[in-house]
Structures are given as C-alpha cells and as structure tokens.
Structure 1
Amino acid sequence: MTSTSFIRTELRPDGIQLLTIDRIAQYNALNIEAVQQLEYLLTQAKADVNVRGIVVTGAGSKAFVAGADINEFKLLAPSESRDFAERGQRVLQQLEDMPIPVVAAINGFALGGGCELALACHIRIASEQAQLGLPEVKLGIIPGYGGTQRLTQLVGRGRALELMLSGGSIKAGEAFRIGLVNRVVPAEQLLTVSFEILAQMIANAPFALTKVLEAVSGALAGGINGYEMEAAAFEACCHTIDFQEGVQAFVEKRPPVFTGM
C-alpha cells in the first residue's frame, strides 16, 4: 500500500496498518483531498489480507485532526454543502464498517471533523494532552460527518447535546469519564499502547472479530434485529476451522493458531 500526499501509511510486520494524517502545518485539518485519500486507503486495506488491524493518528504532537479545513469551508457554496457532508459521511461509514479492528490514537486536538473521525473508529485511545469536541455551532453549522449520531450513541443524549450545543471541548480525562474514549495514556506511550491493544485483538480468530464488529453494528442500526444477527454470526463461526482450533487449543491448554479459515 502506498502513502498519499496527506496520509502516511506503514504496514508493520504484525499486520497493523498505521495511517497518519499528515498536514501538520494545518494541525492535520481534513480537506476534501485528504478525505478522498482516506477512502482510497481504506478500500486498499480492506482488500489486503496482510492488513489485520488499523491505527489512525495525526502527525506531530499537537493535533490528531483539528477539524475540517476552514479554507475550503469559505469556498463552499450552499448548493454544494449537502454533497460535502454526504461525502464525509460515506467515508467515515466505510471506516466504521471495516471488517478489521480500527483504533484511533488521539495525540492532541480532535475537534469537529477530527472528533468525528475518531468517533468512527472502533476504539479510541487518547493522550493526556488530547482535547475533543464538536464546535461547529460556533461557525453557524452543525457536525456533518456523522458526529450527531455517533456521539449520541457513545455518551448518551444529554451529554452529547451539552457538548454540541455549547460548542465546547473537553480534556482527555473527562472524555474517558463519559465514555468518549476507552483509555488515557501519557503521550509518549500513545502509539505503543494502541499497538498493544490492537495486537491483543488481532491475535484472535479473524472471522470471529469481523462477526463481532458486524453484530455490534447491527445493535445500533435501525430496522435490524441484533439478536438474530448475533445468532446467525455465532452459527457462521461454528462452521470455521478456527472454531475447531480454538476449542482444541483450549482443551490442550496451548495457544491457538488461527488461520482465518
């Protein structure tokens, strides 16, 4: 997989793909081209059997992604605004729907579109210096990349409304307290801990991981019976070689060797 002009990529030997948003002079703000590049890289990662999990972070120490690019906002005609929002929603939905685990390593400001990017990841690890928020109302708009939906699902209606209606930001410790992030770690340990958590996940049966992600998504989707989806996924897992290997390894008191079959 090849890095793009605004996103650096690194495939580690353990199968973890590191995606680094790299517009450091703009605090890694997402412009349209960066969103398009993210879409391309996610498509490539999904098709690459060597990619077992993904970590998303921002370049430098100040920002994960400080928002969408305001310079592009200024040029956006009202007639183009819906397409702008729907493009971002589509790409972040693609991120959330990845069949492999995705961890956001939040190394600084995660505001606006940056917070929405983190919300679309499956797990969020924040440095002690991180700040998160959806300040769009201060610009006379609202979150447009799925933030109103995902933040509410994560922290509940009241807390989500307080954050979005005030346009304020919160520090990492408060984000952890309300369930917006999974862990808070010292900045120098952020990537190490993110890699360790993801390595624990991808050591398990790949098919089972995918089915967990699908079942949890079913619990949040309207018009879908999540229990039925769970039961069907459970049955599908029971037909795999990895299931047989997992049970046999447990009986023999040894680590399982999963193949994804």
Structure 2
Amino acid sequence: MAAQIARTAPWRALLRAFPGPAARPRGVCSLGTLGFSPGPCAPGMPASAPANRAAKRHYSSDPKEDLRVRYLDGEDAGIVVVGLNRPKAKNAISKNLVKMMYDAVDDIKKNNKVRSVILCSVVPGIFCAGADLKERAKMHQSEVGPFVSKARGLITELGNLPMPIIAAIDGAALGGGLEMALACDIRIAASSAKMGLVETKLAIIPGAGGTQRLPRAISVSLAKELIFAAKVIDGDEAYRLGLVNHAVEQNESGDAAYHRALQLAREINPQGPIAVRMAKLAINQGTEVDLSTGLAIEEACYSQVIPTKDRLEGLAAFREKRRPHFKGE
C-alpha cells in the first residue's frame, strides 16, 4: 500500500497543477487517463487504471489555452507550474504565446508568496520546438526583427524572476525552446529528450540568448560545436556536458522530468524564501564580474537578509530544535 501511495503521489500535484472545471473523483488517475489534459478523470475510471487503457488525448485549440499557469496549494503552496500547451504546433513560440508568457511572468514576479517555478510542457513528447515558423513565414521582413527582440526580452525576463526557475524537459527542446530552458536556473531532462540550437540549419543564428547562455552553461568550445553543426543531443549527453542538472529515465506517462522537478521544488520550498532569492541574485550577478566585485555583491545581498523576521525564526528554530516556519518576511 505504501508503495502504491508513493507511485501515485506526484500525480496529485499534477492534478492540482492543471485542474479541470468539473469536480474530480476521489483517487488519482494515471497519465494515460488524463492524457496531460486539464479535464477530470473519466467517470467510473478507477485511480489504479493502467496508463494505456484510455490514452486518447483531448486538446483545446483556443489561443487562450496556449499557456496554462497553476499556483499549487496545500503542502505545495508556493510552487507555480507554467505549462506550454500548443499541441498542434509542438509548443512553438508564437506571438500569442509570447504575450501570454509575458503576462504570466509579470504576475509571478509581483507575487511574494511564490517560492519556485516549474516550466514544463502539457503536451507529451515535446517541450518546445522553437519559433513558430509557419507564423514567421507570414511575417513581413520588417516584423521579424522586432518579434525576435520581444521573444529575447521575454526569455530574459523569465531568467530574471527572483525565485528559482526549474525547466522540466520531457521532450524535444529545440532552438528557442532550448533558449527558454537555458534561461532557467536548473534544467532537468528525460534521458530520451532531444535538445539543440539548430538555427544554422535555417541559415540564421540563435536569437533569444542561445549564443550567450549556452557557452555559460557548458564550455565555449563545446557550445560552438553544438551551434555551428546544429547538433541535437539527448538528455544523457546533455547531463554529461553539464547542460542539465539531472537526466532521468522517461516513464510510460512521459513526464519523468516533471516529477523530478516537482521533487526539487519541494526541497526548495521549506527554505527561507528571501534567502533563496538573495542567493540567486548573488550568484547571477557575481558570475558576470571579477571575484572581488562578486564578493561585494554577496555582501550586499547578505545585508538584505539580516533584518528579516525569517532570519530570527531560523535561529529560534535551531535553538528549539524544531522545523522553522518561514513567511518571507
């Protein structure tokens, strides 16, 4: 029984992340039943139903559904799941998706209760295929530059969110899709996931930060090789190169990276939220300057946590040998 609970527990979080409008039956449906769909489980379908019993997936073509953002609750309060959802376009980056992501990032940035963000895909087998080339083909040449600039700005804003951002790469992350993941603090990939900055195949270059972030994530020479040759690598190779923090074996439901990302978010959640934000700021700013300047940045960030109530709570909890309860104050 304990083993069964352990296997189904992650799906409770997924159900909370993408709930349907109708009341959800008791128990936890398999992903085959859910099909990464936000709808409720099929009536009468038991929680333990095999994943392959109802694998048909139903998606909405409504542009308002291109992005699904859910603020988790209960023990997972503070975790936000941002799910890309353009199944027919393989989550390609469109004007509408950029606009929706800007709005989502802005809302998250203003919410002091958010402790971590998971960027994932609601579509099985794909993270993001890059730019929407069909939409791009319809653009006038004068529109391309401004759109790429806006997409670049979005990805920069995503990376500048004050709390940790975890990319869960359960499928292909190509071009702008990988650039989006590179802006995240931590990347987790399924071993079978495919990743690459493949723009040179189209006689262009990565235009949303890839030429800058990839060399900072791995070595400069390796980044050049991957970009020059438009190479696509799997999750295991990405882990070997240091492109992702973890490579996990894909499960039958196709969301192993999401599970690992959720586990990591749960490890971050209990820590002092202001301290985590200041640590991110110190690391991000410090790695762009010399050591002496970096140490000054660390000192400035440390000074921000000294007057917080959370710091006093941490000391009190240590003294009383109990778990601290941080409030982000």
TM-score range, shorter chain: over 0.9
Q: Could you say which residue in structure 1 is the equivalent of 2:165? A: 102
- C-alpha distance after superposition, 1:53-89 (max 9, x if no partner): 2111112221100111111222334433331222111
Give 1:199's aligned amino acid: R
Shift of 1:196: 1.2
Q: Could you say which residue in structure 1 is the equivalent of 2:35? A: none
Q: Could you say which residue in structure 2 is the equivalent of 1:163? A: 226
CA RMSD of aligned residues (A): 1.9
1:206 and 2:273 matched: yes
1:133-212 alignment, distance < 5 Å: 133-188=196-251, 189-212=256-279
1:235-246 alignment, distance < 5 Å: 235-246=303-314
Q: Could you say which residue in structure 1 is the equivalent of 2:70? A: 10
Give 2:320's aligned amino acid: E
Q: Distance in 2 between matches of 1:227 and 1:96?
A: 22
Unaligned runs of 5+ in 2: 1-17, 19-62
Q: Distance in 2 between matches of 1:225 and 1:8?
A: 40
More displaced 10-residue stretch of structure 1: 117-126 or 247-256: 247-256
1:224-235 alignment, distance < 5 Å: 225-235=293-303
Choose from 317, 320, 325 the match for 1:249.
317
TM-aligned CA distance change 1:123 to 1:108, over 3 Å: same
1:259 and 2:319 matched: no
More displaced 10-residue stretch of structure 1: 161-170 or 11-20: 11-20
- Are 2:201 and 2:230, in contact at CA under 8 Å, matched by a contact in 1? yes
- Are 2:66 and 2:84, in contact at CA under 8 Å, matched by a contact in 1? yes
SS at match of 1:105: strand
TM-aligned CA distance change 1:152 to 1:235, over 3 Å: same
Q: Could you say which residue in structure 2 is the equivalent of 1:41? A: 104
Q: Distance in 1 between matches of 2:289 and 2:133?
A: 33
- C-alpha distance after superposition, 1:127-171 (max 9, x if no partner): 122111000000010000111111010002011000000001101
Q: Distance in 1 between matches of 2:185 and 2:318?
A: 28
1:211-226 alignment, distance < 5 Å: 211-221=278-288, 225-226=293-294
Q: Could you say which residue in structure 2 is the equivalent of 1:56? A: 119
Number of residue-to-residue matches in the alignment: 260
Q: TM-score if structure 2 supplies the norm length?
A: 0.75
Name the structure, 1 or 2, with higher relative contact order (CA <8 Å, separation 6+).
1
Give 1:81's aligned amino acid: V
Q: Distance in 2 between matches of 1:122 and 1:251?
A: 32
- C-alpha distance after superposition, 1:74-132 (max 9, x if no partner): 23344333312221111111111111111111010000000001001111111122111
- C-alpha distance after superposition, 1:222-258 (max 9, x if no partner): 6992221111111221221111211222233221111
- Are 1:6 and 1:21, in contact at CA under 8 Å, matched by a contact in 2? yes
- Are 2:80 and 2:117, in contact at CA under 8 Å, matched by a contact in 1? yes
1:119 and 2:182 matched: yes
Unaligned runs of 5+ in 1: none
Q: TM-score if structure 1 supplies the norm length?
A: 0.94
More displaced 10-residue stretch of structure 1: 133-142 or 10-19: 10-19
- C-alpha distance after superposition, 1:5-52 (max 9, x if no partner): 310122111221111110111111111210111011010112223432
Give 1:39's aligned amino acid: Y
The structure 1 segments of at least 4 consecutive aligned residues displaced by more than 6 Å after TM superposition are none
TM-aligned CA distance change 1:71 to 1:149, over 3 Å: same
Choose from 32, 41, 52 the match for 2:95.
32
- Are 2:127 and 2:177, in contact at CA under 8 Å, matched by a contact in 1? yes
> Of the two, which has the highest radius of gyration?
2
- Are 1:207 and 1:237, in contact at CA under 8 Å, matched by a contact in 2? yes
Aligned sequence identity (%): 33
TM-aligned CA distance change 1:247 to 1:119, over 3 Å: same
Q: Distance in 1 between matches of 2:151 and 2:248?
A: 29
Shift of 1:260: 0.8
Give 2:257's aligned amino acid: L
Q: Which is helix-richer, 1 or 2?
A: 1
Q: Could you say which residue in structure 1 is the equivalent of 2:133? A: 70
